[in-house]
Amino acid sequence: MTNQMVGIEINDLHLSFGETEVLTGVNLDIQPGEFFAFLGPSGSGKSTLLRSIAGFGPTPQGSIRIGGRDVVNLPPWKRNVGMVFQSYALWPHMSVRDNVGFGLKERKMPASEIAPKVDAALELVGLTHLADRMPNQLSGGQQQRIALARTVVVEPEVLLLDEPLSNLDASLRVQMRRELLALQRKLGLTTIFVTHDQEEANTTADRMAVLDKGVIQQIGTPQVLYDTPENLFVAEFLGTAN
Ligand code: ADP
Ligand code: MG
ipTM (interface predicted TM): 0.98
Q: In testing the pocket of ligand 1, which one of 14, 15, 17 has its CB within 8 Å of the most ligand atoms?
A: 17
pLDDT digits (tens, 9 = 90+) for 81-124: 999 988 878 999 999 999 999 999 999 999 999 999 999 999 99
- On average, the pLDDT of the chain sits at 94
Establish whether residue 3 lines the binding site of ligand 1, counting it when its CB lies within 6 angstroms of any ligand atom: no
In this structure, which ligand is nearest to the CA of 16? 1
Q: What pLDDT band is residue 3 in, cutting at 50, 70 and 90?
A: low
Provide the 8-state DSSP code for 42: T
Query: Taking the model in full, what pTM does it have?
Result: 0.94
C-alpha 159 to ligand 1 mean position (Å):
21
Nearest residue to 64 (alpha-carbon basis) of 102, 29, 113, 18: 29
Q: Write the CA distances from 7 to 32, 35, 36, 192, 230, integer angstroms.
A: 4, 11, 11, 11, 25
Is there an atom of ligand 1 within 6 Å of 17 CB? yes
pLDDT in tens, 119-163: 999 999 999 999 999 999 999 999 999 999 999 999 999 999 999
When comparing pLDDT for 172 and 241, which is higher? Answer: 172
Alpha carbon 20 to its chain's center: 25
The helix (run of H) or strand (run of E) holding residue 69 is strand 69-70
The radius of gyration computed from the CA coordinates of the chain, to the nearest angstrom, equals 18
- The sign one gets for the Cα dihedral 108, 111, 116, 122 is positive
Ligand 1 in reach of 77 Cβ (< 6 A): no
**pLDDT number for residue 239:** 85
State pLDDT tens for residues 19-58: 999 999 999 999 999 999 999 999 999 999 999 999 999 9
Atom of ligand 1 nearest to the CA of 45: 6
In this prediction, residues 216-240 reach a mean pLDDT of 94
Any atom of ligand 1 within 6 Å of the Cβ of 52: no
Helix spans in the chain (H): 46-54, 96-106, 111-124, 140-152, 170-187, 198-204, 222-227, 232-237
